[in-house]
Structure 1
Amino acid sequence: MNASVKRHQLILQQLQAYKHVEVPELCEALHVSAVTVRKDLKLLEEKGLLFRTHGGASLESPYIKDRPVNEKEQLAVGEKADIATVAAQLIQAQESVIIASGTTMLALARAIPTQLPLTVITSALNVGLELLKHPEIEVLQLGGYLRHSSSSVTGPHAEQVLAEIACSKLFLGVDGIDLDFGLTTTNIAEARLNQQMMRTAQQTIVLADSSKFGKRGFGRICGLEQVAHIITDQGIAPADSRKIKELGISLTIV
């Protein structure tokens, strides 16, 4: 067996174990240059064995498509519930917070204590309806164009309201987290609304199960450095966890 075949086998073994690998880690493991690793990754991608990403490779395509909210609700249900439980503990009485759209945001709405007095601003219809069950919570439901796939609104009407208020925290769900490209969603109008939400809030807390890492949606929300805190599950790759902490971002793994 020649050296290149051995390298390819090791790369694929690393991918099977971690789902995503980075070029520097492969250089160290294989004792070869970054140029050699990138050539190996290109060859393996041409054979349909992996997908190259910025700075590494993944077993799954990093590019994601929009899916209906009822389909998303069936994915990573336990992980989303655990993430939401931890996030709800960060909300204090009398706060004003933004809860963005997404199935993890719906899980957060369900996890908020029923007697906690606060104000919630949200673009998501399902979040607003869930919080109607809480008599102590005031809900400011943003208006605009309704997205059928997410049961949430986008557009200038929602952005204008957000520009005229201030709040302490934004709880943000995303479709993809690429450590180089940043946070993304599948819809560019939603990305614009999320950007305005970030400007309105003092800090942004991202709730994302580990399957979102290494993925990219069509619309870029922001760079990772603009986030204060990320809450995810134990499926996050050690390399991703390390890089997030190196950026000075708080990371909670549930």
Structure 2
Amino acid sequence: MKRHQAILELLENESYVSVSYLCDLFKVSAVTIRKDLKLLEEKGLLFRTHGGATTQNPYINDRHVSEKEKLNVTEKEAIAEVAVKLIKPNDSIMIASGTTMHALAKALNIEEQLNITTSSLMVSLELTKSPNYHILQLGGSIRHSSSSVTGHYSQTLLQNISCNLLFLGVDGIDVDHGCTTTSLEEAILNKEMINSAQKVIVLADSSKFNRKGFGKICELSDIHHIITDSGITETMAKEIEAMGIQLTLV
């Protein structure tokens, strides 16, 4: 069918196309377009996502931190520079694991006191640069791929902690499936972090959107603020803002 071929040609130039865009382009209903995308997905030619289709597999495999820290470096640094402006002297904050969290630790330049709880060994080591930071390193089993900890000890300790800000890194953000990571154990720990925080701020570059990891952390509605780069689609941005989530693009 010519329309199917045209959709595939569009995806050769664009990594993502929305259902609404295809409806306007081909002058057909959303039901028709969704049937087209379902057929093309069954043939292994694309992946359906919330509100559209992509050539990129939305399911994420775990990768070592040494590999991930080389990806989207400029975007992560820009996100971190914006995020640190939300931190005030004497705040009690929590920093989860991930390469964007490491970028946040590098960018943190407050000279006054801070209480910082983290699951990331890399973040803790970076934050020892300041004698004013009281660092609580969560303990437990170490994930070699992320240089972070998970497990019962950390979860129990978090039940006795309250912080005003949680900075959370994720592997996937999907409107329907929420925030996810490649590790179920890390997802469980992140849930406890969310329960201990007054405000949850996700730091994620645009490559994380319309992606899904194995372990579900939370619904998107559990997040208060997302900081990302301008690479996310306009459709995704509108859907996030329509949910009442603050969205900052860098």
Q: Quick check: 1:175 aligned with 2:171?
A: yes
Q: What per-residue deviation string (whole Å, max 9, x for no partner) do you get for residues 177-202 of structure 1?
A: 01111000000110011011001000
List alignment gaps of at least 5 residues for structure 1.
none
Select which of 237, 243, 246 maps to 2:242.
246
Q: Quick check: 1:110 aligned with 2:76?
A: no
Q: Quick check: 1:40 aligned with 2:36?
A: yes
Q: Percent identity?
A: 57
Aligned to 1:204: 200
Aligned to 2:67: 71
Q: Is the 8 A contact 2:89 2:110 kept in 1?
A: no
**Superposition TM-score, scaled by structure 2 size:** 0.95
Displacement of 1:55: 3.7
Aligned to 2:54: 58
Q: What per-residue deviation string (whole Å, max 9, x for no partner) do you get for residues 84-108 of structure 1?
A: 0000110000000000000000000
1:42-191 correspondence runs (5 A): 42-113=38-109, 115-191=111-187
Q: Is the 8 A contact 1:41 1:57 kept in 2?
A: yes
Aligned CA RMSD, in angstroms, stands at 1.5
Q: Secondary structure at the match of 1:89?
A: helix
Distance in 1 of aligned mates of 2:176 and 2:211: 11
List alignment gaps of at least 5 residues for structure 2.
none
Distance in 1 of aligned mates of 2:12 and 2:224: 31
Q: Quick check: 1:230 aligned with 2:234?
A: no
Q: Is the 8 A contact 2:116 2:134 kept in 1?
A: yes
- Structure 1 runs (4+) greater than 6 angstroms displaced: none
Q: Secondary structure at the match of 1:160?
A: helix
Q: Secondary structure at the match of 2:89?
A: coil
More displaced stretch, 30-39 vs 124-133: 30-39
Q: Is the 8 A contact 2:50 2:210 kept in 1?
A: no
